[in-house]
Amino acid sequence: MKNRKRPRTIVITGASAGVGRTAAHEFAKEGARIGLIARGRAGLEGAKREVEERGGETLIVQADVADAAALEAAADDVEKKFGPIDVWVNDAMASVFSPIKEMTAEEFKRVTEVTYLGYVYGTLAALKRMLPRDHGVIIQVGSALAYRGIPLQAAYCAAKHAIQGFCDSLRCELTHDKSNVRVTMIQMPALNTPQFGWVKSRLPRKAQPVPPIFQPEVAARVIVYASHHPRREIYVGLPTVEAIVGNKIAPGLLDHYLARTCFDAQMLETPEDPNRPNNLWEPVDATEDHGAHGTFDDRANTWSPQLWSDLHRGWIALGVLALGGAIFGGLFAKQRLSD
């Protein structure tokens, strides 16, 4: 894929902020042509400017991913301008911080339509174009919460679980059809994105990602990596590995641990304004660009040792084998000298 002569065509949903926006930055460095899809005009314009500063080309499309027809039209627009789509990144999300007992049916429906069905609709639009060409990569931006639900984010956790099941089914079908279209789901840790200041919240205090926190650039780099080296699944950050593996080993124990710790862990000490704008129904970046980062820069990690070792595991394995061979050879030579 890296040796293709024409610049790759990329589509990113949720491209106006956070992971989607930083992923666009990373793809721009390779001179990609990028379709940026989101609802907020100001955020999209900011992302467009930053991508072009980094050497990429852009087409911005205002669309709600909960609208399947709008995504289909967006895919058409991108291909008319840039040619066949090589990579489709599903990243758009919505959430509500709230106890389940205080949620409404309409809120559950909206989060599901954006965070789960938005991925389904994006995947359908990508498959419609990739399958006839037998080429393309679909990247689903997931979460550790796809495997381990936590309190106060039930709608979001359920949607991420649904994406994981959807991807399992899709991979089986692609394998059955011997298709060269690839699907990768990347399970993310807590990230420093603007979502914590604009998702709807009933919490008494301002929301925060459960520490440790990572910068969205960590996520962006692995998205670009996966577009060149599509794996079935990639875990980002040691907290993600701990959550997923821990849930497989002792889910009941985690229930009690999270019940005790995960309410306060998702809140700052600062009181929340119950009347602040939220983006559940309308974008909050329609007229004001909020950028890619949230408000946790001073606490966010820019690098993950776990992720580095995972992405370089082939070289690490070769190094271990070489070291083992050198040690064995030295011991063998020493033994021969002593005989």
Range 9-303 classified under CATH 3.30.465.10: no
Answer whether 215's CB lies under 8 Å from 191's CB. Answer: yes
Residues 168-215 have pLDDT tens digits of 999 999 999 999 999 999 999 999 999 999 999 999 999 999 999 999
Please tell me the pTM assigned to this model. 0.93
Q: 9 Cβ partners below 8 Å, 6+ apart?
A: 32, 33, 34, 35, 78, 79, 82, 83, 84, 85, 86, 87
Amino acid at 185: M
Residues 243-277 have pLDDT tens digits of 999 999 999 999 999 999 999 999 999 999 999 99
Residue 111 has pLDDT above 50, yes or no: yes
Helix or strand (DSSP H, E) at 254 = helix 251-261
The residues spanned by each domain of the chain are: 9-303
How does residue 84 score in pLDDT terms, banded at 50, 70 and 90?
very high
Amino acid at 320: V
Reported as half-sphere exposure (CB side, CA atoms, 13 A), residue 138 has a value of: 27
Instruction: Give catalytic status of residue 156 as yes or no.
Output: yes
Answer whether 78's CB lies under 8 Å from 61's CB. Answer: yes
Answer whether 191's CB lies under 8 Å from 209's CB. Answer: yes
Which residues lie across from 140 on neighbouring strands? Answer: 90, 185
Distances (CA, A) of 144 to 48, 160, 273, 334: 29, 9, 28, 49
Indicate which residue of 116, 156, 225, 235 is catalytic.
156
Which residues lie across from 137 on neighbouring strands? Answer: 87, 182
Answer whether 36's CB lies under 8 Å from 44's CB. Answer: yes
Q: Kind of pairing, strands 9-13 and 87-90?
A: parallel
Answer whether 15's CB lies under 8 Å from 44's CB. Answer: yes
How does residue 312 score in pLDDT terms, banded at 50, 70 and 90?
confident
Residue 123 has pLDDT above 90, yes or no: yes
- DSSP, collapsed to helix, strand or coil, labels residue 236 as coil
Tokens found for residue 24: 């666009």
Per the prediction, the chain carries an average pLDDT of 94
d(CA 225, CA 247): 27
